[in-house]
Amino acid sequence: MSVATEVRVPDIGDFTDVPIIEVHVKPGDRVNEDDPLLTLESDKATMDVPSPLAGVVREVPVKVGDQVSQGSLILQVEPGDGAVAEPPSLVEQQEPEELELPESNQGKPNQADQKQADQKQGEQDQAADFSQTHAGPSVRRLAREFGIDLTSITGTGPKGRITKDDVLSFLKGPAATPAAPAAQGSGIPEIPVQDFSKFGPIEVKPLVRIKKLSGPHLHRSWLNIPHVTHQDEADITELDRYRKELDTAAKPDGYRVTLLAFLIKAVVAGLKRFPEVNSSLNPDRDALIYKQYYNIGIAVDTPDGLVVPVLREADRKGITELSKELGAVSARAREGKLSSADLQGGTFTISSLGGIGGTAFTPIVNAPEVAILGVVRATTKPVWEGERFVPRLVLPLSLSYDHRVIDGALAARFTRNLADLLGDVRRILL
């Protein structure tokens, strides 16, 4: 018998004491290289720890609910042949298919079921241990999302295995009126609780994990930062012509050139000219921390909500490199394959709704950053050129900022400078 190899938690960024929410293997299981062994959940994202080699699992000294850090021992694998069947992809493991509740779930609330679920909710929010139940990883995750104790469900699958249909059966009847949430110390009165089922049929679905994690962060930013949004417009007629030329040339090489790459270049140039916009308040709020690096966060729309991967050292990359990196990181975000390192270290964020529409919006500052740029779809407008109106492609810009750091005049100068840069593509490429 060959010597077993210790598998430890790889580099997970600055996170420590990260809880384990799923263990995908047990002693005796065969695994292939890169098979997911367990899933961690930080305050920003979930992370799968892959197997570094193929072989047989010999020992799993951790369980669901344990907290681990970089270097923690999680299991031992004896090198050898891996599993015969091709394992499910990370996407399949992380993204269970969307489920619709049965029609009976739209009727009168089943208070008995909800009372039982409420009693278990607090424990399950702390990563319930379903490792001893006879159910697959996707079913355990589904139960955790819906706040269900799998130990209270009798499986109808082979050898008593709990299936998704078993979970759906348990969910019959909509949730009862939830209790008023506990005060959060903000001094803000809570919204009165209503029983919506009195007015018509309802359906209760839990928030997806990304929204559960990002919601408190956005709420904290909104309550702590005095937000102001400055609006402006940029004439991108010439820039878009040039972008289309680059995009046409890039398609045969398998990537696209979008406006976002040019926005990143223009933003970096603006941050260098107005360094306060690339700063953060220190913990005592009596000084500014000026960052000498330019890591730009890009809000990406995924099936489960927005995530903000970070493009590092954006000042050192050209349009082509940025375009390729944008395509790659957006694909990983939509497939749920972002690592913790992908989400850290941003100095400024861009939120683009250009592919959807709109005229303007107020993005929430991604604290501890002090500003965020929101852009929507560019439209063709008649612009007066002294003697006549001519059609020009105009891009709306929305800069939300922390008024403790950035005043209105600085916000206006930064946004106008951004518009000027986008209006003359030559200045962006200098």
Count CA atoms closer than 13 A to 43's CA, side-chain side: 9
Q: What is the Cα–Cα distance from 109 to 235, expressed in whole angstroms?
A: 54
Q: Which of 24, 134, 230, 403 is catalytic?
A: 403
The candidate with the shortest Cα–Cα distance to 101, out of 164, 150, 35, 31, is 164
Q: What is the SS3 assignment for 103?
A: helix
Q: What is the SS3 assignment for 289?
A: strand
Per the structure block, which two tokens stand in for 140? 């355990």
Give Dmax (Cα) for the chain: 87
Whether 403 is catalytic: yes
Q: What is the Cα–Cα distance from 329 to 430, expressed in whole angstroms?
A: 26
Q: Residue 420 CA to chain centroid, in angstroms?
A: 32
End-to-end CA distance of the chain: 62
Per the structure block, which two tokens stand in for 430? 């200098």
What are 49's strand-pairing partners?
A: 38
Give the gyration radius of the chain's Cα atoms: 25
Active site residues: 403
